[in-house]
Chain A
Amino acid sequence: MPWVRSVLAILAGRSLQALIVALVVGIVSFIMMQALPGDAAYRIAAGRYGYDMMDAASADAVRLELGLDRPWWIQLRAWLGELASFDLGRSHVYGSSVIEKVATQLKYSLLLAGGAVIASLLIALPVGIAAGMRPGGTVDRISLVVSIFLRAIPAFALGIVLVLVFAVQLGFLPVAGFRGPQYLILPSLTLGLGLAAVSSRVVRDAVADAMSAEWRLFARTKGLTARRTIMSHVMRNAALPVVAYVGVQGAYLIEGVVIVETVFAWPGIGHALVHAIFGRDVAMVQGTALALGLIYVGLNLFIDLTCRLIDPRSS
C-alpha cells in the first residue's frame, strides 16, 4: 500500500522534527533567559511576594530553593532530564505544575486560533472565489484594495479599533477577557481579518488559475454544466495551494496570538509567555516555548496529511 507508506513516512519525519524542535527550543530559551541582565532571583521573589513585600533575604531564599546558584549547565541538564520523563517542572513564580498551566492556556489559545482561522476562511473563501471567477472584475479590484489596507494595519492596532467601535461605542460585544463565547468574536475577527487579507488573494489566484486551465474548458466541452465543473474539478485543484497556505498562516497566527492576546487580556499561551519572561520564570518560558514549537510541528503534520488526502499524486 503506497498510500499507507507515504502517511507513515510523513508521521516518522514529523516525529523526528518534533524531537529536534523540543531540544532546540528548550536550550535556546534557557540560554536567552540566562543572558537577560539583572538578578533573576530578585524578579522571581518580586513576582511571588510583590515588590513591596520582598527583600534580599527572600531573594536568597528563592535562589536556594530553585537552585539558581548552580552552574547554568547543571540547571539545563536538570530541565532536559525532567523533559525526558515528560515533566516540565514547576513554575518558579507560582509553584504550580508547568504542564497544567500550559495545558489550560493552550486550550484558550487554540480556541482563539481556531476562531481566527474560521473567521478568515468565512471571509477569504467567498471573496477569493468571487474575485478568482472574474479576474480584473469589480470584486477582484475592490478586494485587492481592501486586502492591502488590512494587511498594512498591525494586528494590535486593528484590535484596538475593533474594541473602540464594537465594544466601547456600540456596546455590542465585551471589551476583553474570557467569560463566554461572545468574548471570542472580537479577537477572532482581529486575527481573521489579517489572515483573510492575504489568504483571499491566494484563493483568488488558485481559482483564477484553475478557471483558465485547459482541463476546465475540456470538462465544459464534454458536457458538464458550469456548476458541476466548478464543484468537481475547479474546487479540488484550487484547494491545494489554499490548504498549504493556510498552514503557513498558522505561523503568522502563533506570532499574532501573542500580541492580540495581550490587547484582549486573553488568558492564552502568548499572554502567559510574555508574563513569564517579565517574571524570569524560566520553567514557564521553556514550557510555553516548547508547546508553541510543538504546535508548529503538529500544524505541519496536519497540513501534510490534508494535502496528501487532496492530491493523490504526492505518494
Chain B
Amino acid sequence: MNTITKELMTTTVAVSELCVHVGSTQLMGPVSFAVAPGETLVVMGETGAGKSLIAQAILGTLPEQLHSSGVIEVNGERVDNVAAHIRAASWGRQIAALPQEPWRALSPLKRSARHVRETYRYVAQHADPESSCARVFEALGLVGAEERLPSELSGGMAQRVAFAAATAGGAPILLADEPTKGLDNDRRARVVELLSEVPRQGGTLIAITHEVAVARALGGKLIVLKDGQVVEQGDTLSILAAPGHAYTQELIAADPSSWPQTASATPGKVLLEACELSVVRAGQNLIEGLNLSLRQGERVALLGPSGVGKTSLLDTLAGLHAPARGSVKRADGLGPRAVQKLYQDPPTAFAQHVSLDVSLRDAARLNDTPWSELEDLLSRLAVPLSLLARRPDAVSGGELQRVALARALSARPSVLLADEPTSRLDPITQARTLEMLAQIADARRLGVVLVTHDAHIAERWAHRCVSLS
C-alpha cells in the first residue's frame, strides 16, 4: 500500500453512460462519473439495485449473459472494448477488487498466509514474500492467524485476509463491494480505516455499500442507485446531510441508529432458562457461566463482536449443541418444535434445488399446519404467493428470510431464536423484516432471542440486551 509511485498518480477511473443489460433488458444505468487519484466514490442502494454491476463492469468480470454499453476508462485508456485477457493483465497490478463474501473468496484448502504470500510472490514479485506477508499480517492485526484455514477465520478476519491478498499486488485502484457486510461496529470501523488509507496514499477507492455510517466515514463522492437508476449524485457528506430524493431519505431512516425505541414489554411466564451455562466448541471456551431467562412476549438481544460464540450459544439454547456445563431448561409443555431458529444466511437454510413452495408445504405437513394458515402468514409478511414457484436462489435475501420466518412460524413455536437474520440484508429490507418480526412476536406473545452485532439494533429493537464479550 505504501508503494504508490509518481507514475501511478495519474490513475483514474472514468465511466460515461455505462449501462448493463441482460438480453435487451436494461438492469442498470446510465451512470457517469470520474474519480481521480486520492479520491473516493461511494455507491449506495438496496440489494438488487445494480451496485455490484458497476464494479463488475469496470473490472471486466460481468457474468457471461450480461453485457455493458457506454465507455469505461481506466488510467486514461478505454477498456470496455478490449479483449478479456488484456483486461485481466491489469488485475492486481492496476486495479484490485475486494470480494463481497470473503469466506467464499478464499479457496477453502489454503491457509490464510498463503493467499497473501502468493500475491506478493507472483504478482508484486517481491524478493522476500515471506517477510512482506508477515509485515501486512502484523499491520492488520492478523498475527496468529497465518496457519488458519478460511473456515477457521471470523468474518472480520477473513475480510482482512482478503484485503491483504487483493492489495498485495500494489494496485492503486481498489473496488470494494460491500466490504463491511455482516461485520460488527468495531470491525466495520477497522475495515473503513483500511479503505480510507487507499485515497490517503494517493490511490482511488470505489466502495459499494448500503450502510450510511460507512458512506459517511469514507466521504468523497456519492451515487445513490435505485432499481439500477441513479437517483442522486454528488458530494457524499452534503447528500447525507440533506438528501434531496425520497429514496435517499428512506435509506438514511432505515439505518438502525435512527430507529424508534421499542416500548417496554409486559413479559409472561418463563419459556426458556439457562443456568450457569458454559459453551465449548471445537475445544474453545466461548461462553462461561451465563444465566439467561426468556419470557413470553419478550425480545432479548444477544450483542457481541464476531467470533465471540453468539451462534454457538444460540445453538445451545435451541438444543442443537450440548452445553459443556450448566443447563438449558424449557418450560413444561414446550415440545421439540416449540423452539425454532432463523439462520444468518437464508440461502443456506433452504434446499437449493427445490422450489420454496415444496419446502413450505413439507414444513406445513410436518407440523400439521393448514396451508391456509401459511398463506395468511405469507401475506402478512408481504411475500407474494407467486414467489413460491421459484427456487431459493431466484428470490432476494430479504424475501427469502421472510419465507424462512413463515416456515419457522408454521411450527407454531413459543420461542424464536434468530441468528443475525438481517445482517446480510440492506438497511431498508432489514428495517422492514425486523419490524414484521416484532409485530408477529407481539401478536403471538413469542419469546425472541435476537443475535446481533449491531449495538443500535440491540438497543432499539429489543426489550433487553445481553452483552457478550
Asked whether any CB of chain B lies closer than 8 Å to the CB of A151, the reply is no
Asked whether any CB of chain B lies closer than 8 Å to the CB of A228, the reply is yes
A233 interface neighbour in B93, B110, B124, Cβ under 8 Å:
B110
Stretch at the interface among A102-110, A270-278, A306-314: A306-314
List residues of A (197-251) whose CB comes within 8 Å of B's CBs: 213-226, 228, 232-233, 236-237, 240
Q: Which of B92, B93, B105, B107 has the most CB of A within 10 A?
A: B107
CB pair A237 B151 closer than 8 Å: no
A223 interface neighbour in B93, B105, B162, Cβ under 8 Å:
B93
Kindly report which residue of chain B lies nearest to residue A224, judged by CB atoms: B122
CB pair A224 B123 closer than 8 Å: yes
List residues of B (347-402) whose CB comes within 8 Å of A's CBs: none
B118 interface neighbour in A221, A232, A313, Cβ under 8 Å:
A232
CB pair B108 A222 closer than 8 Å: no
Residues of A within 8 A of B106 (CB): 215, 218
CB pair A311 B122 closer than 8 Å: no
Chain B 77-96, CB-CB to A under 8 Å as 1, else 0, gives: 00000000100100111001
CB pair B166 A221 closer than 8 Å: yes
CB pair A215 B119 closer than 8 Å: no
Residues of B within 8 A of A221 (CB): 59, 61, 91-92, 96-97, 166
Asked whether any CB of chain A lies closer than 8 Å to the CB of B326, the reply is no
Q: How far is the CB of B337 from chain A (nearest CB, A)?
A: 32
CB pair A214 B122 closer than 8 Å: no
Asked whether any CB of chain A lies closer than 8 Å to the CB of B165, the reply is yes
B92 interface neighbour in A222, A232, A310, Cβ under 8 Å:
A222
Asked whether any CB of chain A lies closer than 8 Å to the CB of B458, the reply is no
Residues of A within 8 A of B91 (CB): 220-223
Chain B 299-334, CB-CB to A under 8 Å as 1, else 0, gives: 000000000000000000000000000000000000
CB pair A313 B92 closer than 8 Å: no
CA distance A233 to B114 in the complex (A): 11
Residues of B within 8 A of A226 (CB): 85, 88
CB pair A224 B108 closer than 8 Å: no
CA distance A215 to B108 in the complex (A): 8
CB pair B165 A217 closer than 8 Å: no
CB pair B105 A313 closer than 8 Å: no
Q: Which of B96, B122, B169 has the most CB of A within 10 A?
A: B122
Asked whether any CB of chain A lies closer than 8 Å to the CB of B219, the reply is no
CA distance A228 to B104 in the complex (A): 19
- A-B pairs under 8 A by CB, number: 79
Asked whether any CB of chain A lies closer than 8 Å to the CB of B99, the reply is yes
Kindly report which residue of chain B lies nearest to residue A236, judged by CB atoms: B109
CB pair B104 A214 closer than 8 Å: yes
Residues of B within 8 A of A232 (CB): 118
CA distance A236 to B108 in the complex (A): 10
CB pair A222 B119 closer than 8 Å: yes
CA distance A223 to B169 in the complex (A): 7
B122 interface neighbour in A213, A228, A240, A312, Cβ under 8 Å:
A228
CB pair B61 A223 closer than 8 Å: no
CB pair B108 A220 closer than 8 Å: no
CB pair A222 B123 closer than 8 Å: yes
For the complex, count residues of A whose C-beta is within 8 A of B: 24
CA distance A221 to B162 in the complex (A): 11
Residues of A within 8 A of B93 (CB): 223
Asked whether any CB of chain A lies closer than 8 Å to the CB of B140, the reply is no
CA distance A224 to B110 in the complex (A): 15
Q: Which of A218, A220, A224, A237 has the most CB of B within 10 A?
A: A218
Contact flag A215-B104 (CB < 8 Å), given A222-B168, A237-B109: yes
Kindly report which residue of chain B lies nearest to residue A214, judged by CB atoms: B104
Kindly report which residue of chain A lies nearest to residue B167, judged by CB atoms: A222
Kindly report which residue of chain B lies nearest to residue A226, judged by CB atoms: B88
B101 interface neighbour in A214, A220, A228, Cβ under 8 Å:
A214
Residues of A within 8 A of B108 (CB): 215, 237, 313
Kindly report which residue of chain A lies nearest to residue B111, judged by CB atoms: A312
CB pair A218 B88 closer than 8 Å: no
Q: How far is the CB of B88 from chain A (nearest CB, A)?
A: 7
CB pair A223 B122 closer than 8 Å: yes
Q: How far is the CB of B108 from chain A (nearest CB, A)?
A: 7
CA distance A215 to B99 in the complex (A): 9
CB pair B97 A215 closer than 8 Å: no
Chain B 168-202, CB-CB to A under 8 Å as 1, else 0, gives: 11010000000000000000000000000000000
Q: How far is the CB of B176 from chain A (nearest CB, A)?
A: 12
Contact flag A217-B61 (CB < 8 Å), given A222-B166, A223-B92, A223-B119: yes
CA distance A215 to B105 in the complex (A): 4
CA distance A207 to B190 in the complex (A): 36
Q: How far is the CB of A215 from chain B (nearest CB, A)?
A: 4
Residues of B within 8 A of A213 (CB): 104, 107
Contact flag A311-B123 (CB < 8 Å), given A214-B101, A214-B104, A221-B91: no
Kindly report which residue of chain A lies nearest to residue B151, judged by CB atoms: A313
Asked whether any CB of chain A lies closer than 8 Å to the CB of B149, the reply is yes
Q: How far is the CB of A128 from chain B (nearest CB, A)?
A: 19
CA distance A232 to B168 in the complex (A): 17
CB pair A313 B109 closer than 8 Å: yes
Chain A 34-67, CB-CB to B under 8 Å as 1, else 0, gives: 0000000000000000000000000000000000
B109 interface neighbour in A223, A225, A310, Cβ under 8 Å:
A310
CA distance A237 to B110 in the complex (A): 10
Q: How far is the CB of A116 from chain B (nearest CB, A)?
A: 29
Residues of A within 8 A of B101 (CB): 214
Chain B 430-446, CB-CB to A under 8 Å as 1, else 0, gives: 00000000000000000
Residues of A within 8 A of B88 (CB): 220, 226
Residues of A within 8 A of B165 (CB): 218, 222
CA distance A224 to B119 in the complex (A): 7
CB pair B111 A237 closer than 8 Å: no
CB pair B169 A222 closer than 8 Å: yes
B107 interface neighbour in A219, A223, A228, A310, Cβ under 8 Å:
A219
Residues of B within 8 A of A219 (CB): 107
Chain A 287-315, CB-CB to B under 8 Å as 1, else 0, gives: 00000000000000000000000111100
Residues of B within 8 A of A215 (CB): 104-108
CA distance A221 to B111 in the complex (A): 19
CB pair A311 B109 closer than 8 Å: yes
> Considering the complex of A and B, which 3 residue pairs feature the smallest CB-CB distances, nearest first?
A223-B92, A223-B123, A218-B105
- Taking Cβ atoms with an 8 Å cutoff, the residues of A that contact B are 213-226, 228, 232-233, 236-237, 240, 310-313
| 26 chain-A/chain-B pairs, Cβ below 8 angstroms | A216-B107, A217-B105, A218-B97, A218-B106, A218-B162, A218-B166, A219-B107, A220-B91, A221-B59, A221-B92, A222-B91, A222-B92, A222-B119, A222-B123, A223-B92, A223-B93, A223-B119, A224-B119, A226-B88, A228-B122, A236-B107, A237-B108, A237-B109, A311-B109, A312-B111, A313-B151
| A-B contacts besides A213-B104, A222-B119, A233-B110, 12 pairs, CB < 8 Å | A214-B99, A214-B104, A216-B107, A220-B91, A221-B97, A223-B96, A223-B123, A224-B119, A226-B85, A311-B109, A312-B111, A313-B109
